[in-house]
Chain A
Amino acid sequence: MDVAALGDIELTDSTGTARRLGDFWAERPVVLVFLRHFG
């Protein structure tokens, strides 16, 4: 996995807000889960 490339990606959250992935784990560990489906 290319964690640097992943960190630069912006995705939209459930409220429609753009979130940069790397910001989540800049200061703390993150359990990052890729879901096959919502639920």
Chain B
Amino acid sequence: MRDRYDEITGRGAEIVAIGTGNVGYAKSFVDDEHVPFPVLVDDKARAARAASIPSMNFFALVFNRNSRHAMPRARAGGHRIHRAGRRVTQLGATFVVGPGATIRYEHVDADSSDHAPLDEVLAALPERAPS
């Protein structure tokens, strides 16, 4: 998603990422990966609960074929895998929200290898930034 950040901001939108670690993890991620958007820490899972983000059974996560192959594939693609923080079983999710309290799109990952298709995310955004 970071690779298409300009395309997203060009439509008048912003990316906000929420992780499960602590501020140190978040700062390391932002610094090491040159992340251009806000990265927030949900250490008490308040945001995850409000967004109804599910968790996966730990053993299902470890032994899930897709999950098992996701990390080597990410590393092969040049991505560094940073620490997961407290809730390793929490699944990921992507929403497009706003302006205002409007949900334009939602995708809750089926497992750790699943991610929202970027084309779907972009399709949920305005064609261009309002003038």
Contact = CB atoms under 8 A, between A and B. Distances in A.
Interface string B32-43: 110000111110
Interface of B: 1, 8, 11-21, 23, 25-30, 32-33, 38-42, 46-48, 50-53, 79-85, 88, 90-104, 106, 109, 112, 121, 124-126
Given A24-B16, A27-B99, A37-B85, A5 B53 contact: no
Report the contact-size class of chain A (Cβ under 8 Å from the partner): 20 to 34
Contact of B47 (A6, A13, A30): A6
A1 B95 contact: yes
Contacts of B12: 28-29
Interface of A: 1-7, 9, 11-16, 19, 21-22, 24-39
Contacts, number: 170
A23 B49 CA distance: 19
A15 B125 CA distance: 28
B53 A39 contact: no
B62 to A, nearest CB: 13
Contacts of B106: 1
Contact of A29 (B21, B50, B126): B126
